[in-house]
Amino acid sequence: MPVIFDSEKKIFKLDTPSSSYIFEVSPTGYLLHLYYGAYVPDTDLDYLRMRLGNASFSANVIAPEERGLSLDTAAVEYPVNGTGDFRVSALSVRGENGNSATDIRYKSHRIYVGKPKLAGLPATYTNDDSEAETLEIICTDSLTGAEVTLIYTAFAKLDAITRSVRVKNTSDRKFKLDRIHSACVDFTGMDFEMLHLQGRWAKERTLVKRHLEFGLQGIHSKRGSSSHNNNPFVALARDGYTEESGEVYGFSLVYSGNFAAEIEVDCMASTRILMGLNPEDFGWTLEAGEEFQSPEVVMVFSENGVGGMSRTFHKLYRHNLCRGEWKTKKRPILVNNWEGTYFDFNDDKLVAIAKDAADLGIEMLVMDDGWFGVRNTDNCSLGDWYVNEKKLRGGLGSLVDRVNALGLKFGIWFEPEMISPDSDLYRAHPDWCLHVNGRERSEGRRQLVLDMSRKDVRDNIFDQMSAILSSANIEYVKWDFNRNLTEVGSELLPPERQCETAHRYMLGVYELLERLLTAFPRLLLEGCSGGGGRFDAGMLYYSPQIWTSDDTDAMERLEIQYGTSMVYPLSSMSAHVSAVPNHQTGRVTSFRTRGDVAMAGAFGYELDLTKLTNEERELVRQQVSDYHKYYDLIQNGDYYRLINPTEDKAKITCAAAWESVSEDKREVLVTYVVIRTQVHVARYLRLRGLDPDRIYVSDDGKRYSGALLMNAGLNLTGGWRDGESRVIHFTAE
């Protein structure tokens, strides 16, 4: 059983195939953390209890007779504010008396098979109840009447445990949540390196590593989205870890709005990590009987380094987070017209691209920004989701019919959360955007943000989108989000609830996404936010693929896709071949390399196909054929990062490499890219994840043992040019 409770010792134990998570109920009702790490048997768990000789200056509320036992020095399962634990807290409840001192104690628990849904929020799920077991622990604060339910789910076949928190007001008086994290883990020791994904627009999710120091450290976003700048993921890797060895703890938040991951190393060199909603400018009032549900944190433990952690996240998110028909259905190879035409297109131009796409084997045409209102630049018409028939003569239905007649599917771009000041919608409803009365409304990209916390706003946008999607055979939507939130206020909320706006906004977005997918269940939804500004587990619940970055340069994508793979599977990374010189960097990279890099994801094209040379057209046909051939291996195989392109830039090899291995280890696809070449460089690439006793045959007929490929490596020494790539496919005899 994944979850057990020792009623005599008052110890809870959650097991996954290779990990154990253990905590206890103290005699006075406090939950104290005991252990998280590699699997341990159900014996001698008392040994894990830690006691100090003396906890000077610390309140002894856990056991007044034990001066060495204090919330300030103990490993606390879910720490609260103001009653003895002086480290950063997970929960703070402010009562009507104005004080935020909080004290929660164990009341009861229940254990059951399966996993519950979270009201209004994305979360992992079970396809069958037997896949997981759930523990719910109810703790109460006797003064405020706060009932705090800690929800844990342990997956039976993956080393993943999910955490979330639900708070209910059981009193007849209101109180306010000042902060609520979804998960906390206290570790003994500080011998960790913190891994996180940092970036900016067009340079998202660069892997950053730094050793923990005494005091507070961490990452956050208060931009109204998970952001280009910091992804809602952190890992703690014990000293001595590598890509494929050592202990690594991964934490991923299933949420797309303001978040924080806070890490504190205290005076005893113990480490606390918390993850959840960003407490800055957050508050939530609960009236009598009301509940608040926090987002979910996914915790993954790996004894096989960072790579082992990543492969667990990949499997979990492919099978237990992505939903709907497109979770397993083969995704179409598409061409998006954005970098090919920008706003300068009409129906005939799109059909011309579609004709070439059909000839080349591409399966879908996506019409990007510029088809609606009077939009010929980015300064107007967001919110006016009706067809510009000056561009699309004959209307949208006529265009879609012409594209479908060529054998192609059709997709379309929306930016549902935004509104242009120069739009019919804004002129009719200027109060519908986020704003603070008396303050100037800051524009970003010449647009404002709709108040998605309002049902009337969501109803209007849904009705407009539904009318468009019902008017023609549209099978794909690219959902964009092109600015951060400022003046985060809502016309409908009273002053004391304005700090709820950002979270209510995100709940509104999720509600609209859910409504849209319920109305159009066969729709393939691709997330986007100026590229990868909202690439997170929350969005994957609705969109199984996300535009990875607005930077389509293949050399830049090496690092972006490398970092993204820390948490997110290749099937989620939308990656396209674009024109050269690249529109973001000006770099010229070979067509073959652009295809090889883009193939490590949800594959497509982002250029004007009518301008390709005959040689490039043949390469497109070959790339399309290869992607179909290797589709299942790329999308569902075990992924191994072989060379870190960021770190290897400083080495003589200066390369990037990765590998996909089928679950049965019978098929392997290796990609090797030389970023910058030098003369007389020996290049041996050691593969991973193979069966050492099998013989693997490459497509050119050469035979290698798995042991040889993993230990001696694949010999790639030879003449290489800057930006040159090679893809090698092996099958086992």
DSSP element (H, E) containing 347: helix 347-360
Give SS3 for 521.
coil
Active-site residue (options: 550, 551, 608, 648): 550
Q: Catalytic annotation on 480? A: yes
Give the three-class secondary structure for 469.
Answer: helix
How many C-beta neighbours within 10 Å does residue 407 have? 12
With residue 276 as reference, give the H or E element that holds it.
Answer: strand 271-277
Cα 665 to Cα 670: distance, rounded to the nearest angstrom: 13
The encoded tokens of residue 357 equal: 């796409």
Paired tokens of 677: 């070449």
Nearest Cα neighbor of 525 from 476, 455, 592 is 476
What are the residues whose beta carbons fall under 8 Å from the beta carbon of 17, sequence distance 6 or more? 39, 156, 157, 158, 159
Q: Where are the alpha helices (DSSP H) in 565-692?
A: 591-598, 614-636, 645-648
With b meaning 16 or more CB within 10 Å and e meaning fewer, what string describes 688-723? bbbbeebebebeeeeebbbebbbeeebebeeebeeb
The answer to whether residues 161 and 299 touch, using CB atoms and an 8 Å cutoff, is yes
> In angstroms, rounded to a whole number, what is the distance separating the alpha carbons of residues 635 and 330?
9
**Tokens representing 353?**
């691209």
The string over 289-302, giving b where at least 16 C-beta atoms fall within 10 Å of a residue's C-beta and e elsewhere, is eeebbbbbbbbbbb
Which DSSP state fits 447?
B
Phi, psi for residue 225 in degrees, rounded to 5? -150, 170
Which listed residue (356, 368, 480, 608) is catalytic? Answer: 480
Nearest of 509, 507, 501 to residue 527 by alpha carbon:
509
Q: Which two tokens stand for residue 124?
A: 């992992």
Catalytic positions: 480, 550
